Amino acid sequence: MPPVELYADDSPNLDGSIYRGSRVAARQVMIPVYLHGVDRRSLRELKRRLIRAVNPKNGPCLIRITEGDSQTRTLTVFYKDGLQGDEGVDSAGFRWTRYGLQFTAYDPWWYGPDLQVAEWSFSGGKPLLTTGKGLFPLSLSQGVLSNSSVPIVNPGDVEAWPVWQLKGPVRGFQLTGPDGGSFGISAGATGTPDAVPAGRVLTIDTRPGVKSIRDDQGVNLWPRLDGSPALWPVPAGNSKASVNLAAGGPAASLRLTFRPRYESY
């Protein structure tokens, strides 16, 4: 489990403290590594390749754990310490050396290999009642996705931050999470531009550090959001979201994608 920072208030009139909250801090990881070469030259080449591979200037490293049931988890880390090169008798020899590589995972959660994806599309519309048959039994056409409780399943241990994609034409939309937070672009009066014109795709990335709303041409639509937007996460387990989408045509669709996060591998 990653380390947890606790926050509390002290009172001069009470014993102890009052718990206020907590947050998960960056995770520290140590991995022992043993290098063995056929000669001194091959050992030095192995060390150079390892140093280049873990250098943070070349990007992050991925620690991948695979269990016996083929379940895989990955953790994104940055090298911090451990490759200084101890040449003591117990740490290195003529053709071998060992290190304790220390990494920091600023994102402390493990990720699974699979994305959770849900998609809703809008057909060209059907008659309310079937035609060419008798009146009974009645057969009603499926309604559009609007003001609905849409079930979402997050198999992870903690909340996940989704990426939404809306394919036009969409006149306006409002997405409300289980906690009541919502964001969207209201449909304007007749003649006003659609939130997502036909043939365009709007991507809403709610992930921390990203938080962007852009279409497929790179246009920033954040200024068009309704007031006080809350780009909400998907909680762990089963939950329901409310989707209010005014589709401007049968080509409109809504796509939800997120990667579950886990406390351990």
180, pLDDT greater than 60? yes
Per-residue model confidence as pLDDT tens digits over 15-37: 999 999 999 999 999 999 999 99
pLDDT for res 119: 83
- Whether the pLDDT of residue 67 is over 70: the answer is yes
Left (φ > 0), alpha (ψ -120 to 50) or beta: where does 147 sit?
Answer: left
Q: Comparing 196 with 122, which gets the higher pLDDT?
A: 196
Closest C-alpha to 219, from 186, 191, 245, 196? 196
pLDDT at 68: 87
Strand order, beta sheet including 163-167: 116-121, 253-258, 163-167, 201-205, 212-215
42-62 per-position pLDDT tens digit: 999 999 999 999 999 999 999
Average pLDDT, the chain: 86
Strand partners, 237: 154
pLDDT band at 144 (very low <50, low <70, confident <90, very high): very low
pLDDT of residue 146: 61
What are the DSSP calls for 223-264, one per residue? Answer: GGSPSS---PPBPSEEEEEEEEEEESSTT-EEEEEE--EES-
Q: Residue 260: how many CB atoms within 10 A of its CB?
A: 21
pLDDT above 90 for 113: no
What secondary structure does DSSP assign to 139-175, as a single string?
A: -BPPPPSEEEEEEEEE-SSS-B--EEEEESPEEEEEE
Binned at pLDDT 50, 70 and 90, residue 126 comes out as very low
18 forms beta bridges with 9
How far apart are alpha carbons 247 and 254 in whole angstroms? Answer: 10
The helix (H) or strand (E) run that includes residue 54 is helix 40-54
Q: Is the pTM of this model over 0.75?
A: yes
- Bridge-based pairing of strands 237-247 and 146-154 is antiparallel
State the pLDDT at residue 145.
Answer: 57
How many angstroms separate the CA atoms of 65 and 109, rounded?
A: 13
Closest CA to 33 of 103, 105, 101, 104: 101
pLDDT above 90 coverage of the chain, percent: 61
Coil, strand or helix at 109? coil
Instruction: Give the model's pLDDT for residue 124.
Output: 46
